[in-house]
Each structure stands twice: as C-alpha cells, then as structure tokens.
Structure 1
Amino acid sequence: MTERINRRSMIRSTAVAGAAGVGGLALGGPAQAAAAPSLVQADGTPVLTPQQFGAVGDGVADDTAAIQAAINAARSQLNKIVVIPPGQYKVTSTLVVGDHEYETPGQHLNRFVLRGYGMFGEEASKLIFDHDGVGLRWEASLGGIHGVAFDAPVKTATNVGIHVARTANTDDTDVTIVECSFLRFQRAIESVGRGFLFSKNKVAVCTTGISISWPTEGVQGSGVHVLPYGLRKWLITDNHFHSNFDAIVFTGAPDGNFRGAVISNNLLDIGRRLFKGSLTNSTISGNVVENGTGNAIVQIDAGGHNLTITGNVLGGFDTTPGAWDPPRYAIHFTSGVSAKNVTISANTFNWIDGSGIQFDQAADKVSITGNSFDHWNLSRSSIHGVVRTNADATRFAVLGNAISANPNPAGAPIRIAGTLAESTVVGNAFETDALVAAGTIGADSFVETEPGRFTKLQLAAAKNGAARVVSTASVVVANDNYGSYLVEGAATVGGGPGVKGGVEVVAVNASGAAATNLLCATNSSNDVVAFQASVAGLIPPTDNARDLGSATANIRTVYTRATRLHPHTVSTLPAAADSPGALIHVRDGHDGKPCLAMSDGTAWRRVPLGNPIG
C-alpha cells in the first residue's frame, strides 16, 4: 500500500504539513486539536506528519506527544501513512503503533507505514530516544518502516529500538523495515512472530542487531500458522552491521522450527557474529564478516537440516591480534544439532582460532565443496581442522577445497572422531602429509591422499578402485611415461611401506610400441620385480629366477606353437635330485651329440634323438 506515495509528493505534503502545524500552534497547540487536518494528495492518498500536531524536530523540544498523535490519527484512515519530515525528534517514552485489526475491528486492517527521508547511512529523519526501554512498539501486522533513523544517546542494559509484538493473533506480524538506521541499542530490533523483511539498513554499536522469537501465547491460526511450519518467512538482506556482538539471533523456538530464511549480502565490519540460533530449510549466502570473534560467526543451535551456506567471507582480521581475538569457529553446529542435508560451498574462511567448520554431533549428507581455508587453527591445537566432526560423518562429499598449512604441522585438515562412512574426499589442495584423520575410514569411503590431482588414491578396502591415466608427453623409451596403477602399502612392519604391486605401461621403442609391466614385491625384501608383456612376448625379470608355475601350483595344459629348451652340457647338468620329472636339452649328452634327458630323481636318463625329419 506504500507505492502510491513518492518522494515528490512527500515533499509537497511536508510543506503543507508545516503550514498546518504552525496554524495549529496559533490556535492553542496540538493538545486542543480534536482531529488532525487531512492532507489529500492528487491521487487521494491521505498523509499525516507530526508537525500537524505540534512537532518541532529540533532535537531539543519533546516531540513524543506530537508523533504519537499523528500515529493515532492515521489509524482511522484507509491508508495509514505517517511521514517524518527531515529533522531530529526527541522522544522521551515509548511510541506505540497499535494493533488496529483487533482493537477497532473493521477499520481497514493494519497496513501502517511510517516513512522518513533517510536512505541507508543517511539520517535525515531521526528519532532520538532519550529514555530507557523500548523506543517504538509495533503491534500492527503487515506494516512498514522506511527511511527512519533510530538513535539512543547511550546504550543501556535494556533499551530496544523497535519491538514488534502483538497481543492477539500474535504469530502474524509480517513487518518490513527498509533503509533505516539504528545506533546504540541493546537490541536494535526485537520481533516476535512470523514474517520479517529487513533490507538496506545500518545497525551500529548494538549488542544484538535483530532478535527474532516465537510468541508464547495468542497464536490463533492452525495448520501452516502453527509450529513447526509457522516459523517462516525471514528476509534479511543487504544490511550493514557495524560493531555488533550478534547481528542476527533466532531464539526460543523448540526443535529448530525457524525455517524459510534468506540471510544474504550483509556486511559486518568489526562484525563479531553473523548468526546464532535455530535454523532449517534456509540459506546464508554472500555475507562478508571481518574481525569476527567469540565462539562462531555462524552458530546453528537447533534444526540444522536442509541448509545452504555459500559464497560468504567469514573470519577474523588479518592483523595480530586485530580488534579482538579471532573466532573459535567460522561455522559451528552445536551439541543440539545433528546436521543433515547441508551444503557449504564457495566460502572463504580466514583467521580462525580453531576449526573452520565444526560438527559437535554426527552429521549426514553434507557437501563441503570449493571453499578456501586460510590462517586456521591459529591456536595451534592438536584437535582442530578445517572440517571437524566430534562423532560419525556419513555421506560426506569434501571436494575441491583449497587448504593452507596447519600451524600445527602434525594435524590433518579433516578430522573425524568417529567413522567416515559412504563418503568421498577428493580433489582438495593441501599442504600437510595427511588429509584425513578418522577413528575409522569405512570400506565404502574414497579418500584421495595426494594434494590437487589423482596421483595417489587411498581406499580402506579394495572396492572398485580404478584409475585411467592419459599421457601426452613425448615418448622416451624405457621411461614410465604412459601411466600406471600401483598398489602401495603403508605398514611399518613386515615388508614395510612401498609399492607392493600393480601395472605400468612403458614405451619400448621410438615408434610408439608399448609394453605392460606386471609388478610384484618379492617375499624376501621390499624390492619390486617386473614381468613384461609386449608384442615380443612375456619377458621375466632380469635375474630370470622365477618359474612359470611351480610344484604346488602346476600349469596343467599348455598350448603353444613351440617349446624351446635351454641347452645344457654334461658338465653343467643341474642336480637330478632337485628336478624329478624335468625334461632338459643336453648339447653333448649322447656321444658328444645333442639329446634329451629326463630326471627320475636319482639320475638323468638319456632320451636319444631319432632320425632327421624329411
């Protein structure tokens, strides 16, 4: 209902309002005015100003009664609009925009608008609350506050800029606050109920910027109006929070019922904490927090389901020590949360005292992709990581993150206290020897342990592990330039760490012919021998000490084009006792001529050769 009033008409109305206000004073002041003079614009929209009721707007005179009178007068109008002309208005008690819908039924619902001339940092229309407690109590639903500056000379233990709350149908508020500013409040805005749009505002030097909660009584709806779905519709975008302890706090709702929140594009310089409380089915995106401090910049205390946290810059400050100590975590799912269906992507985490992302409880179906972690674990703790879970991590996808060095070199960046199950950790760039430290890495998980590329793959068990390596390098004969698939052991006992076997493809000539080497470690040392298969045949290791088949693992049938026996001489015959059943060729075994010989276990028995064929 606010689009029918524009800046030009406001200026015109204000000029008339000023004249009307002066006339009112000449007749004895606003206390004697029975009704407000109605200003009607060209489009028929009535507009009221505090000046019509005697407001001065010089920051010295007490304008409380005049502003309240303008608000009260607007309640009976079809379009309930009160314009605050440029000036400074001293207020000494709480202003109240009443709940017109229930106090005076049938009077055009509640769509009340309080509009000033401010824009973000501009404070043309300023209300100075020279008292402790609530500055403006907003009881009307579907209302809007535009361009008004709320200022307290001193922050107290209890002062509040705007308190949004109803006494009937208490859940249904839907307030809009745009292009306003708030300075020196314990809580800039305290809103109780469903529906909140807060955009292009400045909140400075407040303990809490926005506090949102659910009413404890007076909820009159059903179905989607009650918990759990009642707590929905939160748009908090494009705001500047300066030197607040907490920018946004959702509090009081059971079981994480706050849902449907969009918290985006907010700037916190000297920001401390962006969000704390209950959250589910929501997104936190595009926010920038510098000089954060405390426990966590984003702290999820309940809910934690179906969340997207993306494109944020979250951290402390790039000086030592900065304005204050850096935060312990960038994102923290606390002990009341079992996170599920969470996406954390494309964020920059920096200057964190402990872990970048912390899960106190088990978490399931979590995607952590494309983030940058820099200057983390500034405390040099042995327990912190860029991602840390104090219990099981199931169906985690940790992909493509850039991770700077841990100030504690002994610590792995990803730390799972329980079991890492059904998960993939691949494509991350990191600077430590190990990437994952877990109580157990399940056989159904896949972890890449070399930074940045597919050079080494780690599986807890042999399950469908495979790699394809394509080389475009120039051919160098006898070099391993086509690729390989190797199995490496990490055990410190037995044969010790090293390659245990695998396959490598090598070049054998300059024309591009290749051979495949079948690799295996020996049983007496950790040496690796190779059997080479190529177009030339199967070539055994260079020491030629391996058999094809053995006494206990015989080859039963061999189909071959020809068999070529090694030529022995009588003087070089092997021991017959060691070769029962062996057939050999003896070059000079029959009167100095060739023959075959077979061992019966005691001696070599001559097998004379017959006549030549053909």
Structure 2
Amino acid sequence: MSTSNYDIDVILRDHITQGDSGSGPHKPLKSQLRAYLKSVETGTLDRYNSKVDVENNEVRSSVLSVLTHGYTAAGDGGGALYKRVDAEPSHPGKFRSADRYLTDGGTDATNGGWWEIDERITTPKMYGAIGDGVNDDTVALQDCITSGRFIDLTGGIYRITDTIQVAVSKSKIFSAALTTLQGFAVRQGAILVDNPSIGIALNCTSTGTIFENIYIYSAAQITAEAIHFDRSAGSSSDRDHRVIGVSIVNFSTCIKMIGRGLHVKDCQFSTATFGVVLDWPASWTPNGAGNDTTITAGRSYVITNNLFHDCDNWVTNEGTENPQNIRSVVVSGNLGDLGGCIFRGVLVDGAISGNICNLSDYVYTMRINDGSRNSAISGNVMGGLNEGGEGNQPNHCVYMTPETIGIKNIAFTGNVFGPTHQGSIRIDGDAATTNISFVGNTFQQPGLDGFSPIYLEGVVSGAKDLSLIANTFDLTGSAAATIIGGDNNALIRVLYTNNSVQNNAIPVAQSNVIVYQDGPALGMAEYVHTVYSARGGSSWVAGDTVVGGHVVYSADTSGPGAGIVGGYKILAGDTTLNSTIMRLLAKDSSGVDHPTVDITTSYMRPVFSNEMSCGSSNRLWTAVYATNGTIQTSDERLKDFDARPLGEQSAVIAAAKKISFRSYRWIDDDGKTHFGVSAQAVMEAFASFGLDALEYGLVREEGGSFFVSYTELLALKLAALETDDRPAH
C-alpha cells in the first residue's frame, strides 16, 4: 500500500548503510537524501511495505521512485529504493508492478511497469536473502554480487550451498565489523559454507576486488578454497585484489591467488592446511610478455599483520606454472600461535620480516625452494619451545633445497632460530648456494637431537658458500659436534667471523670444510681457524687441519682472569699460502688488514722492505740480546758515495774531534754507569763548524727526543784517528 507521508527517520533507518568515502562508510549519501526530499516534494516518490506489495499494485504514472520497507514484508531488512525504467533490466534486483507506465507517463504493454534497485550499496536481503544461517541464501547472495559493486553483509549469516561467482571488477564485499550504528549493536557479516564438496566458496574472476571485515566459515573442516582469485591479463585500469580484516575458518585453503597482485592484511586464518597460496596463470608466458602491460606487470604480494591459527602453511609459492615469476612477495608482522610454516616455495626479490612462529612441531618453519634469489629474511622469531616436551619443536627453522637451479643472494639478519630437534638451518641439494649470509642471528638450542646448527646434505658438485658473521649460538642441551655439520666436503666454504658460541665448546666444521675470511689487502682468500678464550680458562680451536691462521677473540668475559680483549689476527702463509710462514697483520689507516711481519723457524722479518721501524721514540726496547750484532745493508750498489774520503772533509773531522765520550747514569736509574755522548753535544760540535748534525745520519729527532747512531759516530771517530796517524807531506 502506498503512502504520501514522508518520514525522514524511516529513510535514515532503512538507508543507514548508504555511504561514500566523503561521509563515512555508514552514513546516508547526501545526494540520495536530496533526491528523496525532492521526490517527496514533487510527488514522484511513493513508499510501500515491501517489494511484493509494489508488485501487486499499480503505481501512479507520476511516481518515478518507490521506497520499500522490506523484501517480502516490512521490517525483514530487505527494504530498498527502486527507480522506474523503460525496459526490463538485464540484471537481478528488478520487479514489475501491476501498471504498465513508462518514465514519461506513457504506457507500454511490453516494456512498461519495470523497476530496478537504485542503491549505491546493496545487501543480499534486498535480493531476498534471509541471513539467518539456516535458510539457503545462495541465489540471493549471487544476485546481489552480480548486480552491485558495494555489497554490505552487516548483521547477516548467509548460508550458501554452491560457489558464488564474483565477476564485477573493483567491487567491494564488506560488513561493519564489531561496531555500533545508531545505538544498535551490529554483527559482523558472515558467509556459512554448507557443502563439503563445494570446491570453491567465492570464485573471483574480476580485478581490484576488496573483501573486508567478513567472516567465511564452515561448521566442519572441508577440502575447499574459501576465496579463489583467477586474475585475467592486466590492463592500465587493472587493480590488485585486497583482503582486509577477513576471518576464514575450517577450509583446506583460505585464499588462492592465480596471477599478479594481492594484499592480505589484518586477517585471521584458522584450522587450515594453507593460508595464502600464490600461483602463476598457465596461459601467461614466463615473463608476462603479451599478457600484461608495463603498468600492471610490477605488482606485489603483501601479506601482513595476520593471525595464522593452527595453519600448517601460511604463504605458499609452489605452483606448477613457473613459481619464479611470483616476485616481490612481502610477508611481515604475522603471528602463528600454533606454529606452522611462515613461507614455503620460491622467493624472488622478496622480504620476510617480523613474523613470529612459535609452538611449532612442523617439519620446518620456513622452506626456501630451488630458484630463490635476491631476498631478505629479517627479524623473525621461529622455532619451538623447550618447556612442554619435545613435541613443541620443529626439526628445522629454515629448510633450503637448491636442487637444479640453485639459491643465491639470500640474507638472514637479526632472526631468532630455535629450539629445534635438528639443525636450525638445513640445506639439502646439490645445486650451488651463493652469497647466503647469516648476520646477527641468535641460534637458540639448535640440534637437540645431535645435529649441527647449520646442517648440509647432498653436496656432490655444487659449491655451498655461506657467511656467518656476528651470530650467537646458545648450545645449551645441544649434542652438536660442530657448528656446521652434515657433509664433510671441501665444496662447503664458510666465512666465519665475530660469532659467539655459548655453553658448549665445539669446532666450526669438520676437517674438509673450508672456513675462511676474505683478505682484500692480499688479493686472496685467507684461510682461518678461530680460537676463543674464556676468562681464566683455556683456549679451544674451531676447525681441524685446514691450512690457515688464527683469529683470536674473547668468547666469555665472565669469571676471573684477564681474558682476551679485542683480538688479533695471525695468517699462516704468505701470498702463496706457504704454511711454514706465520704472518702478522695489522689494520692500516684505511682500516684494511695489512701484512707486517713474517716469522719462520729461521727468521723474523718485515713483509715489505724498509717500511717499518723496530720500536719508536716513545716505545723503546730496554736491551737487545743477540749472538751477533746488527748487520746493516752495505752493498755499494745501493749507495752513492761522496768523491772525497771522509778524512779530507776537514769540518766534519774537526767536529768529530770535538765530541767527547762521557760516563752517565739514566735519570730513571737502572743502577748502572753507562758510557756515551749526548745528542745535544754532538749538535753543538757540528754547529761550531757551521754544520747541522740533523742533516747527517748521526743524529735524528723523533717525537720531541734526540737520538744518536753510534754506528755512524764510531765511523766518524775512526776517520778522525786516521787523520792523526796519517804522515805529514
């Protein structure tokens, strides 16, 4: 029954979810309210109890809009605004009244009397859904999603028994989650899937679709996908899909994405085998050429701030259609409160950071597959607990499988690994691993079953290059024999420096594994062992028979004793790795390790000739004991002699005769009387004949002190005696 009474409260109530970004998601559109008021003013709007009520009545020819207060009956939640149209609409959300009027007031027996929904935001109840979780709302929900772009599920539980097709691009399916509207509590909208053979609940073939704040669940675990994105080839108007604040429970796969571009944020995935599965369309060529434009090719996959509750695999990229094409995957800030695997598959140009995966009894908490490269894994906490039995630890934290292509350029930084039954890091496969670095990580109780913290298997021909820098290994309760274990193979090369090993003194690796440190000053690989010294304790060596040197650091600063502060470096071998030479290195002014002294059983010598002194002006030796005296270079080929004999240089000889030897004691008395000269007396003697003693090798000034070369002085004194003994002519 129609009425001309206008009730603004009814309009506000019935259209409370109508909104736009300018006025908030749950406020009436100003434009719609203006249209309502104008319609009432001009008499072109009528109100009816329900859609069924309108279908059974003739609507006046002047009326262009009708407002219903229900779908089948007033108050059932299906009220909507409809507008008169001049032909039957091709989409759901339509009905025909008993009249045959057109919008111009004329009549048409074929096309007259048709109406369609005139709402920006629609609800399934406007299409006949009950939303009580009992009645089957499959058809109504499908009609709503097919017809509209903004679908509001607030307050309803929509039971479905068949797949819902989502084909409208840039659409949004949402609900007002856990909030209050106009003083009434509002329940989060839900989709109850009641068919264990459904396969896919929501099949999304559109682009740019948003699912926000809805609840998708099954009463029991089913083998099905909750949301399936099958993204077609891109275009300049293409948009990434977004899943925000969605809860998915009891599905084998929560979200599967085939194609480019997916953002998943603030969701909860519970009781699932797979959380988010990524795959590549079979029809797309490996690099996307011919399938996607430059604008859309560089898409990303961002999975952040989600809760994975009892979810075996959080994010997976193991598709059969070249998973290396899935790039720029970001997995960050997620929590798995019952463990699981954070990421499983190929990781290319990606980042995994800030995730927490604890209480895990899964085989591994991260699997990096063959072909992974150029990615960062940082700030994650992954492993198990040691309080509650061995069932609370995974076998490994990270499992890497370089099988045919290899894995390269992966940086693990600032992670916490463990506790684990076996190695925290396991590398299994014969292809090469290149530039795999572990920097600043904590390995907590790895290898509780006797495995090494880093465990390698299947190394036959592919080299394994690892860098371990500034990591901490807490080996409490660990039965590991070496830090790096498994295959005892010289193809395994490890840069090992500045690491801390606690509560168990074990070597770095077995005898054949090469442990090294880069030596840019020598232009070669410096093979090293590492020696740690505990305060007041004995040293131990990490490594066995590798030809190399020792880098010495303090491993334990607690307890009594001096310990080792800082450290020093000794390289065994010269540039040809001659193991009979021990070489000392010191950092030069640029901070580069610079060779200084070689020591053998026959001599100790500087590495580079005429480059360094023995002692300095403020660092003096008290005495030098030697079987033979010092031997100076005297090869005539290295000298430029003065043409005149020393005896014919009268001024120098006269100065020498004026220098007198004297007895003295050191001011810092050593209890001895010594014989010699003072440098100042030598300089005065030379100055009295117009000579500067500092221009000769006899006297030198360094650090504010003066020094005399007695070898030079004695040669000069002997020349003076020669002139006295020479016959007169």
TM-score range, shorter chain: 0.5 to 0.7
Q: Structure 1 residue 320: deviation in Å?
A: 3.8
Question: Which of 625, 637, 640 does residue 539 from structure 1 map onto?
Answer: 625
2: distance between equivalents of 1:176 and 1:17? 38
> Would you say the 8 A contact 2:464–2:491 is kept in 1?
yes
In the alignment, what sits opposite 2:607? Answer: none
SS at match of 1:68: helix
**Number of residues of Structure 1 aligned to a counterpart in Structure 2:** 488
Q: 1:482 to 1:267 in 2, by over 3 A?
A: closer
In the alignment, what sits opposite 2:143? Answer: 69
Q: Which of structures 1 and 2 has the larger relative contact order (alpha carbons within 8 angstroms, sep 6+)?
A: 1
Q: 1:72 to 1:223 in 2, by over 3 A?
A: closer
SS at match of 1:161: strand
- 1:350-381 per-residue CA deviation (whole Å, 9 max, x = no partner) reads 12121122222431112210000012112223
Question: Which of 84, 89, 110 does residue 153 from structure 2 map onto?
Answer: 84
Q: Structure 1 residue 174: deviation in Å?
A: 2.5
> Would you say the 8 A contact 2:416–2:443 is kept in 1?
yes
- 1:456-485 per-residue CA deviation (whole Å, 9 max, x = no partner) reads 89895569x89999xxxxxxxxxx999987
> Would you say the 8 A contact 2:548–2:571 is kept in 1?
no
In the alignment, what sits opposite 1:511? Answer: none
In the alignment, what sits opposite 1:225? Answer: 292
Residue 435 (structure 2) pairs with residue 365 (structure 1): yes
Question: Which of 72, 93, 96 does residue 25 from structure 1 map onto?
Answer: 72
SS at match of 2:278: strand
SS at match of 1:210: strand
Residue 229 (structure 2) pairs with residue 161 (structure 1): no
Q: 1:292 to 1:399 in 2, by over 3 A?
A: same
2: distance between equivalents of 1:2 and 1:451? 67
2: distance between equivalents of 1:177 and 1:370? 34
- 1:219-255 per-residue CA deviation (whole Å, 9 max, x = no partner) reads 796258399x969511111100000111111122326
Residue 510 (structure 2) pairs with residue 434 (structure 1): no
- 1:425-456 per-residue CA deviation (whole Å, 9 max, x = no partner) reads 11100032312336242671454623499998
> Would you say the 8 A contact 2:331–2:352 is kept in 1?
yes
Q: 1:555 to 1:18 in 2, by over 3 A?
A: farther
In the alignment, what sits opposite 2:717? Answer: none
SS at match of 2:221: coil
Given residue 269 of structure 1, which amino acid in structure 2 is its aligned partner? D
In the alignment, what sits opposite 1:328? Answer: 395
- CA RMSD in angstroms comes to 4.9
In the alignment, what sits opposite 1:216? Answer: 282
2: distance between equivalents of 1:255 and 1:368? 25
In the alignment, what sits opposite 1:592? Answer: none
In the alignment, what sits opposite 1:117? Answer: 176
> Would you say the 8 A contact 1:87–1:124 is kept in 2?
yes
What does 1:168-179 align with in structure 2 at a 5 Å threshold?
Answer: 174-179=240-245
In the alignment, what sits opposite 2:665? Answer: none
2: distance between equivalents of 1:224 and 1:450? 58
Q: Structure 1 residue 8: deviation in Å?
A: 2.8
Question: Which of 82, 93, 100 does residue 162 from structure 2 map onto?
Answer: 93
Residue 484 (structure 2) pairs with residue 425 (structure 1): no
In the alignment, what sits opposite 1:396? Answer: 466
Q: Structure 1 residue 58: deviation in Å?
A: 1.8
In the alignment, what sits opposite 2:60? Answer: none
Residue 311 (structure 2) pairs with residue 241 (structure 1): no
1: distance between equivalents of 2:311 and 2:127? 36
2: distance between equivalents of 1:353 and 1:36? 68
Residue 258 (structure 2) pairs with residue 184 (structure 1): no
Gaps of 5+ in 1: 41-45, 75-79, 101-109, 470-479, 490-498, 505-516, 524-531, 541-545, 560-612
- 1:5-47 per-residue CA deviation (whole Å, 9 max, x = no partner) reads 733327999xx9998675331499999836885455xxxxx11
1: distance between equivalents of 2:292 and 2:239? 12
Question: Which of 124, 128, 140 does residue 192 from structure 2 map onto?
Answer: 128
TM-score normalised to structure 2 length: 0.57
1: distance between equivalents of 2:566 and 2:380? 42
Q: Structure 1 residue 67: deviation in Å?
A: 1.3
> Would you say the 8 A contact 1:246–1:274 is kept in 2?
yes
2: distance between equivalents of 1:292 and 1:341? 27
Q: 1:424 to 1:366 in 2, by over 3 A?
A: same
Question: Which of 287, 306, 319 does residue 374 from structure 2 map onto?
Answer: 306
What does 1:350-499 align with in structure 2 at a 5 Å threshold?
Answer: 350-360=418-428, 361-381=431-451, 384-386=452-454, 388=456, 390-391=458-459, 396-405=466-475, 407=477, 409=479, 411-415=481-485, 417-419=488-490, 424-431=495-502, 432-437=505-510, 439-441=512-514, 444-447=525-528, 449-451=530-532
> Would you say the 8 A contact 1:294–1:327 is kept in 2?
yes
TM-score normalised to structure 1 length: 0.67
Q: 1:221 to 1:327 in 2, by over 3 A?
A: closer
1: distance between equivalents of 2:69 and 2:276? 38
SS at match of 2:144: helix
> Would you say the 8 A contact 2:386–2:392 is kept in 1?
no
In the alignment, what sits opposite 2:639? Answer: none
What does 1:255-266 align with in structure 2 at a 5 Å threshold?
Answer: 256-266=324-334
Q: 1:18 to 1:169 in 2, by over 3 A?
A: farther
Gaps of 5+ in 2: 1-18, 33-46, 51-66, 79-91, 97-113, 180-185, 517-523, 555-563, 574-579, 586-596, 604-613, 637-724
Question: Which of 47, 59, 63 does residue 121 from structure 2 map onto?
Answer: 47
Q: 1:338 to 1:252 in 2, by over 3 A?
A: same
- 1:566-601 per-residue CA deviation (whole Å, 9 max, x = no partner) reads xxxxxxxxxxxxxxxxxxxxxxxxxxxxxxxxxxxx
